[in-house]
């Protein structure tokens, strides 16, 4: 993370598929160092939002900016390099890839220019490799897998595999981390653990988190701000307490 933390501004984003408006002029701002949840019933446009932010889908109109940097229409790898990292579910990894190797994949995007921006001088490739390894170890500790660096990631329990994915995104040194339903399919214990790591990402690393999430308990506990979508429209926004008591939100969830 370099420089002053920047806000992620989503402005009037519309996404149309043949005959269907998946997002309709949606705007919200992810404040620096905050957890911003995007919630809504099935089909509301949550995954579409995630895909626009990460560059997988192109907005039909509207814009996405990180600080003064225009991200609209950029390819996923460019958006990642500019500081908005996402987790990858089902990324094809050889089953024997260790936790350390899996995390190291997140470092490959970081060029020497990235290190220069971070204020580090790099006299040699060996030194660069060592810095990457040190950082991987730090991040493994941060996600609570410091003792499991040499284990094959694929043999870990599901909750820990998800933490490896989160760690791999952190290895890209993002300003904003995009998480799509990070606790889906997890046990209560795993949910608590991932929620604690997400809170640490915000509070300890100062990284903003955009959380697309179904689990309202996790959203209410973690989020600083919530954007509520329904049928592709932003129907409410505010603190968790504000949106929870918003009649439009209650109605959307009851489906009446
Ligand atoms: P959510 O994640 O909130 O359940 P989605 O963003 O996945 O909702 O979907 C919003 C709407 O857009 C749905 O009606 C869905 O069927 C449609 N949609 C999403 N992706 C595509 C696509 N690639 N092609 C056509 N329609 C899509
Ligand atoms: Mg979805």
Fold (CATH) for 90-173: Rossmann fold (3.40.50)
User: How far is ligand 2, taken at its centre, from the CA of residue 51, in Å?
Assistant: 10
- What is the rounded distance in angstroms from the CA atom of residue 102 to the CA atom of residue 114? 20
254, exposed or middle or buried, with CB in 10 Å at 0-12, 13-18, 19+?
exposed
> Is there a common fold for 1-83+174-256 and 90-173?
yes
pLDDT digit of tens for each residue in the chain (256 aa)?
Answer: 455 779 999 999 999 999 899 999 999 999 999 999 999 999 999 999 999 999 999 999 999 999 999 999 999 999 999 999 998 765 556 678 999 999 998 887 665 555 555 566 665 777 888 889 999 999 999 999 999 999 999 889 999 999 999 999 999 999 999 999 999 889 999 999 999 999 999 999 999 999 998 888 889 999 999 999 999 999 999 999 999 999 999 898 877 5
Total-model pTM: 0.91
- What is the rounded distance in angstroms from the CA atom of residue 128 to the CA atom of residue 125? 5
C-alpha angle 39-215-12 in degrees, rounded to nearest 5:
10
Which among 24, 26, 44, 45 is the best mutation to test ligand 1's pocket, defined by most ligand atoms within 8 Å of the CB? 45
* Domain spans, the chain: 1-83+174-256, 90-173
Strands 233-238 and 69-70: what pairing?
Answer: unpaired
ipTM > 0.95? yes
Nearest ligand to the CA atom of 43: 1
Strands 233-238 and 225-230: what pairing?
Answer: antiparallel
Superfamily of domain 1-83+174-256 in the CATH hierarchy = P-loop containing nucleotide triphosphate hydrolases (3.40.50.300)
- What is the rounded distance in angstroms from the CA atom of residue 208 to the CA atom of residue 178? 9
156 φ/ψ angles, rounded to the nearest 5 degrees:
-75, 155
């Amino acid at each position: 993370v370099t420089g002053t933390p920047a806000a992620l501004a989503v402005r009037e984003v519309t996404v149309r598929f043949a005959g269907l408006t998946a997002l309709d002029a949606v705007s919200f701002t992810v404040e620096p160092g905050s957890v911003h949840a995007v919630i809504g019933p099935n089909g509301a446009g949550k995954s579409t939002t995630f895909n626009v932010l990460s560059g997988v889908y192109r907005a039909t109109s509207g814009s996405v900016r990180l600080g003064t940097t225009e991200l609209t229409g950029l390819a996923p790898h460019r958006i990642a390099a500019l500081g908005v990292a996402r987790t990858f579910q089902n990324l094809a990894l050889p089953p024997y890839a260790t936790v350390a190797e899996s995390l190291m994949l997140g470092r490959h995007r970081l060029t020497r220019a990235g290190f220069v921006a971070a204020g580090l001088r790099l006299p040699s490739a060996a030194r660069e490799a060592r810095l990457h390894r040190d950082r991987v170890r730090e991040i493994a500790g941060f996600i609570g897998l410091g003792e499991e660096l040499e284990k094959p990631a694929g043999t870990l329990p599901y909750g820990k595999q998800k933490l490896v994915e989160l760690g791999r995104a952190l290895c890209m040194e993002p300003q904003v981390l995009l998480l799509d339903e990070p606790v889906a399919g997890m046990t209560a214990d795993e949910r608590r653990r991932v929620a604690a790591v997400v809170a640490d990402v915000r509070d300890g690393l100062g990284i903003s988190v955009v959380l697309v999430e179904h689990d309202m308990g996790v959203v209410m506990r973690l989020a600083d701000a919530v954007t509520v979508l329904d049928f592709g429209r932003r129907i409410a926004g505010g603190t968790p307490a504000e949106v929870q008591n918003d009649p439009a939100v209650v109605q959307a969830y009851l489906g009446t």
